Structure 1
């Protein structure tokens, strides 16, 4: 019988594990934009060779999360204020189209979103920022997925991934963590009522507050897109 060779399967598993660890390090700001990734240290930390570490870094480079510089190695990609502004401009345009394409959600779909948001509540209570980031992403992309616009949602996913090292800033404030949950509940209410334009307005406000927090935390020029 055919199948994946054991060595290959182990390498794939190791690469996935390194990618997961790097994502946690980015979400918790153990790694920040511009910081170099020490491959030897990471390999020792995870008990793997440098080969899966290098493959994981190449994978994240393809996503725009890491950058490779000759004679330097891999560093966390740093986005300029203009690049961040463009990311949020594209997100606003694409997410608005996706939300307007949503059908009236079924009770089970509303229940799924409610459950995802309540899981975030538990993470907020534990101040588990990495879990909050993952839960927030799961909430939004479950909602986006109900639109059926898979190609557009894929582009939104790419933008979220590229800006993730920056988007965690506002979650280090207790009020910011609670606000995320509260705003999700308002979105669920709008979805239950079939209030598409209300949902779009809530999402715009939800996104723009993150932009404002970034502006304040990083000392960047105003990133908010024109209304």
Structure 2
């Protein structure tokens, strides 16, 4: 093997190690294992993943540049905390982008409708098994399967960033069986609006779906902020 080939292989290995670390931290955020403001112990993460500290540091820097982590002096990298005002801003941006995307989804392919039904059934099944990780992943797949029908790839890419930013809070929210039942019922209504190509109703239902989550998150976050501020 020549030096160039060896260097390329080493680079690929390093890139793979960084991505492994990124995926692991992101999963901890999305699942709620890593709480808002919680520090990330680089040594512990390196041991868990069987990696050296260098790809861990690079992964944390990249996640911080994406807004998912913050760096605090004398503490290190921590899961980002959003204030209730910042959470509201993120959801306002989501509303703007998602509504634009939904305008391009009314001519949805039958296969995509079938897939949405399958995913919603799978969400209900996962909830019955108390598999909250599967509920979270399937819910995201449901929405991004719908969004992908618009063909607005740059919009969808930006939307993924906003979803990642707020995942740490949705993980706290989507643990109540009644909440998941409501999510499934609202998904069914969204599918019905898609089937009838009723764009105003589709947008109204999707806004209601999103804002129900925001209201619950804001209530919980506001209560936390009040408790923290109380001497």
Alignment TM-score, normalising by the size of structure 2? 0.87
Show the counterpart of 2:27: 24
Whole-angstrom distance in 2 between the partners of 1:167 and 1:183: 17
Cα deviations by residue, 1:135-155 (Å, 9 ceiling, x for unpaired): 211111111111112222222
Query: Measured at CA, do residues 126 and 16 of structure 1 come closer, stay the same or move farther in structure 2, by a change above 3 Å?
Result: farther
- Map residues 148-159 of structure 1 onto 2, 5 A cutoff: 148-159=151-162
How many equivalent residue pairs? 221
* Alignment of structure 1 residues 113-128 onto 2, 5 Å: 113-128=116-131
- Determine the structure 2 residue equivalent to 1:51: 54
- Provide the alpha-carbon RMSD of the alignment: 2.0
Q: Distance in 1 between matches of 2:166 and 2:93?
A: 12
Rounded Cα–Cα distance in structure 1 between residues aligned with 2:184 and 2:85: 29
2:176 counterpart of 1:173: yes
2:33 aligns to what SS in structure 1?
coil
Residues in 1 aligned to 2:134 and 2:54: alpha-carbon distance in whole angstroms: 28
Once residues 32 and 179 of structure 2 are traced to their aligned partners in structure 1, the CA distance between those partners, rounded to angstroms, is: 16
Compute the displacement of 1:220 (Å): 4.9
Corresponding residue of 2:163: 160
- Gaps of at least 5 residues in structure 2 are 225-231
Answer yes or no: is the 8 Å Cα contact 2:132–2:175 preserved in 1: yes
SS at match of 2:185: helix
Choose the corresponding residue for 1:88, options 87, 91, 107.
91
List gaps (5 residues or longer) in structure 1.
Answer: 222-227
TM-score by length of 1: 0.89
- Cα contact 1:116–1:139 (8 A) shared by 2: yes
Counterpart position of 2:82: 79
| Paired residues of 2:39 and 2:79 also in contact (CA < 8 A) | yes
Runs ≥4 residues deviating over 6 A: 1-4
3-state SS, counterpart of residue 77 of structure 2: strand
Tell me, yes or no, if structure 1 residue 130 matches structure 2 residue 155: no
CA distance in 1, matches of 2:48, 2:151: 41
